[in-house]
Amino acid sequence: MANGRPLIPQHEMRHRAVQGPWSKYLKYIDRDDEAKLPILYIFRDFELAGIPITAETAGIALKLGRLRHERNKEERARQEQELEEARAASAASLARQKLLEDQPEGIVYYIRRGGLIKIGTTQAFANRMRNLMPDEILAFEPGSYSQENQRHQQFEEHRFGRDRRGSRSEYFYPAPELIDHIRSIRDEYGVPDQEILTITDGRALLDELQSGSG
């Protein structure tokens, strides 16, 4: 109750609008017309503006009311989509934040230093990034040493210094296969937040390579 008046539900307000002083205009409207209420509002506006209701103006009211109804539907759909996108973004952000927390399972990270990409693993991501000071954090995925080793083997032919006997460098050349893999991880887990110690958002290298291949 507000200001001593009972709170009237929205559906009841709609019912009263239809049954109110403009109910005389219902004869112009198909009872199954889903735009009935917006059409009645147009009739009301005509009446308040002193526009006489004739067959011609009634036809105009019907068209305007249906147009308003369609626009209202589009606006509601847009708002629902924005709400759904906001919820999805929030869920993704929470998932990324959880992934970045120190955890026994660890994560496998992909960072750029100069023209090379390092594939490593850590259980304390933020501290590791502070130590490495990468140019860009390109991506990360759940995993520990076994996952890191699998990725090293997967991109072995692109390993920096692989021609040197016994080299086990964790740095790799940005070959197309590796870049495609990083993109797929970003699609799944999002672009890493760069306030953890880098300058860019990790897109510079990928965008540069993509534009250069065109």
What's the pLDDT at 189? 86
pTM for the predicted model, two decimal places: 0.49
Structural domain spans, the chain: 10-91, 101-212
Q: Are 56 and 80 in contact (CB under 8 A)?
A: no
Both tokens assigned to 207: 């965008």
Could you tell me the two tokens for 205?
């290298």
**Rounded-to-integer distance, Cα 109 and Cα 127, Å:** 13
**What stretches of the chain show up as alpha helix (H) in DSSP?**
10-19, 36-48, 55-100, 125-132, 145-154, 176-189, 203-212
3-state secondary structure 144-192: CHHHHHHHHHHCHHHECCCCCCCCCCCEECCCHHHHHHHHHHHHHHCCC
**Separation in Å, CA 142 to CA 63, 120, 146, 175, 194:** 56, 12, 11, 22, 18
What six digits make up the tokens of 195? 């306030």
C-alpha span between 178 and 166 (Å, rounded)? 22
214 residues of the chain, pLDDT tens digit each: 445 555 555 555 555 554 556 678 888 898 889 999 999 999 999 989 999 999 999 999 999 999 999 999 999 999 999 999 888 877 776 766 665 554 567 889 999 998 999 999 998 888 888 888 898 899 989 888 888 999 999 999 999 987 776 668 999 999 999 999 999 999 888 888 766 555 455 556 666 555 555 4
User: What gap in Å lies between CA 186 and CA 32, rounded to an integer?
Assistant: 49
Structure tokens at 7: 């709170």
